[in-house]
Amino acid sequence: MFALPLGDNARLRPLEPWHAEEFFAHIERARPHVDPWIPWATLSTDLASAVAVLQRYARNQAEDTARIYGIWLDGTLVGGVMFTKFDTVSGVCEVGCWLEAAGAGRGLVTRACRALIDWAFGERGMSRVEWWVASGNTRSIEAARRLGMTRDGVLRQRYPYRGVRQDSEVWAILADEWGSPGCGVKSELDQLMRAFLGAFTNVGGAHPNVGAVRELFIPQGTIIKNARDGGPVVYDLDAFVEPRQKMLTDGTLTEFSEWEVAERTEISGSVAHRFSEYRKSGFLDGEWFEGAGHKTTQFVRTPAGWRMSSMAWEDA
């Protein structure tokens, strides 16, 4: 009861104190996967402490300051999502997630987080949803990108964990960026494009993560550069990702960003097409450059949500 289907025989529903035994068994399985990044997992070291964690969230939900939900896959608890903070006065809340290995690779966290963000913006009128993550937690950063969030900044050495001070990255999305409830497919396609472009950004010391492109495309995805003087160059995902990740991290291409300035999107059933105009800028081998061009992107709906299937671009 009170369960939201996530597809793939998975469901999202409130995680309550009476789930403590199941929750603790799940945390024991998940600990190797999440403990390096989620300090609160270390609070559930036995059944009593697991009960205490869920009771704390129950009290916070009663006070409308936090909430926690579990993700069940084939009837087994494999992870969850939560509002770690929910401040109705400021209109700002924070979303978090965790997952054991058995639930990974299915898009469950992305779909569950979308449900929470839809509710926060559409039902509760929040203005900003945040995502706080340790800088080394690449899985969580990729999830933020898939949700269309923007990296607002880094708090250096913000907290100690296991004897090492950790940097915290702050990602966020605003209500007018997410779109109103019901915009559905267009909003998801907008988020995919923002996540794609954001994967290359290394402005101000940001860590580019071109590998996130693999999560945005179907595995058979194709990317094509159409050079006016040399014709098309066709890449599979690995051939596209690896040299660009190197350029953006070895000093060849610095202070780089790329952004859409105009777009036209057409949606027909489970396929969609987007025509984009873009701008880009940065330092290439120490020389400042600015550029522009056009992209055409195709999308398909998959069981894990919308994904890119192909993209072609031409620099002006």
> Does position 84 have pLDDT exceeding 90, yes or no?
yes
Within this chain, do residues 301 and 239 fall inside the same structural domain, yes or no? yes
Q: 268-274: long-range contacts at Cβ-Cβ below 8 A with a sequence spacing of 24 or more?
A: 270/300, 270/301, 271/298, 271/299, 271/300, 271/301, 272/185, 272/189, 272/298, 272/299, 272/300, 272/306, 273/297, 273/298, 273/299, 274/189, 274/193, 274/299
Within this chain, do residues 155 and 291 fall inside the same structural domain, yes or no? no
Within this chain, do residues 8 and 119 fall inside the same structural domain, yes or no? yes
The total number of structural domains that make up the chain: 2
Confidence at residue 181, expressed as pLDDT on a 0 to 100 scale: 40
Alpha-helical (H) ranges within the chain are: 20-34, 47-62, 108-122, 138-146, 175-178, 185-198, 213-216, 237-249
Q: What percent of the chain has pLDDT over 90?
A: 57
Report the first-to-last Cα separation within the chain, whole angstroms.
55
Which of 135, 163, 182 is the last residue before a domain boundary?
182
Task: Choose between 185 and 89: higher pLDDT.
Answer: 89
Closest by Cα among 283, 287, 289 to 253: 283
> Does position 179 have pLDDT exceeding 60, yes or no?
no
Confidence at residue 300, expressed as pLDDT on a 0 to 100 scale: 94
Mean pLDDT of 185-192: 82
Residue 41 lies in a domain: yes
Name the pTM for this structure. 0.59
Within this chain, do residues 19 and 132 fall inside the same structural domain, yes or no? yes
Q: In which residue are the tokens 């403590």 written?
A: 20
Residue 197 lies in a domain: no
Average pLDDT, the chain: 89
Which residues does residue 267 pair with via DSSP β-bridges, in sequence order? 272
Mean pLDDT of 269-291: 92
Residue 209 lies in a domain: no
Closest by Cα among 156, 173, 175 to 164: 156
> Does position 182 have pLDDT exceeding 50, yes or no?
no
Rounded CA separation 56/24 (Å): 15
Q: What is the CATH number of the domain that holds 280?
A: 3.10.450.50
Distances, alpha carbon 75 to alpha carbons 3, 13, 280, in Å:
12, 12, 47
Q: What is the CATH number of the domain that holds 109?
A: 3.40.630.30
218-256 tens-digit pLDDT: 999 999 999 877 789 999 999 999 999 999 999 999 999
> Does position 295 have pLDDT exceeding 50, yes or no?
yes
Confidence at residue 96, expressed as pLDDT on a 0 to 100 scale: 92
| Enclosing domain of residue 26 | 4-182
